Structure 1
Amino acid sequence: MDINVCNCSEISIRPGDLDVVGHVNNARVLELLEYGRMKWLNSQSWKPNTSSAAVVTRIEIDYIKEIGFGKPFINTLFNNNKNIDFTQQDERECCYSITLNQSIKSQPDSEDIYVNAIIKISFIDIDKRILISINDYTQ
């Protein structure tokens, strides 16, 4: 299974995204990160089967700096710190979740970071409501 490790997406902050203080509300930041994750998932060569879904099971987020009006970038990076072998067929060794590192920055390669997040995504069978491996998710 091939993995596109990183995806960078430019986003537009609309006037309605700003709260009365003039910065993007924290709840809206979560929606922006979701957009980045969906772009990353769609950039993969995987074709999820119709009875499965990728769901967020944990979010750890650091709000570092206010996001104002403009066009920041969302970086989404696959974190393979477990050295996952996606070719593994032994069920005891299968991967049931992955971790993504996401950030919102002023520019793609900038150190000017607004938000850092660690996202855990797990895979489920929609009908049975049970965890499935990433291999089952993409079959």
Structure 2
Amino acid sequence: MSEAWQPTLDDITKAFMDLAGRVSNSNGAALDPYVHQALRDVAFHLELYIPGLELPPDGEIAGALARASQAALDRGDCPDSLAHALRGLAHSPHDPGLFYLVASACFEYGAVELAIRMLYHTLWINPGHRAARADFESLSAFLDDAPGEGRAA
């Protein structure tokens, strides 16, 4: 049971649907800052619910939307991919494959920090998700090797 100030799982699934609509209605050039922040917030609140305790509202629809998201990503349509993945999460909020697709779309948008957060969330749901683990480790290694403040040249 959640505290009064915390969103319910139903609130979270509605947020995913609202975000999908917002992405669909955007110009697609860059990730909307509202969507960026809301995805961070929704993932944070979703971690208050243990995956697998409740059945997803509709796993079959989520699977179809995951396939549509992957197809859109394959053809380079980042907004369509993200919108489909978010709609899928409205039907199955703990689906690691859908979170992986969200991470992939965020990376394609150039929102690398958000992509890493979404990969981390994917691995929180399913630590054995191989593609997410490989991408997370690659991005982490790249960022660890990047020159930054306080590092010797």
TM-score band w.r.t. shorter chain: under 0.3
* More strand per residue: 1
Structure with a larger share of its residues in helix: 2
Q: TM-score, normalised by structure 2?
A: 0.24
Structure scoring higher RCO (CA < 8 A, sep ≥ 6) equals 1
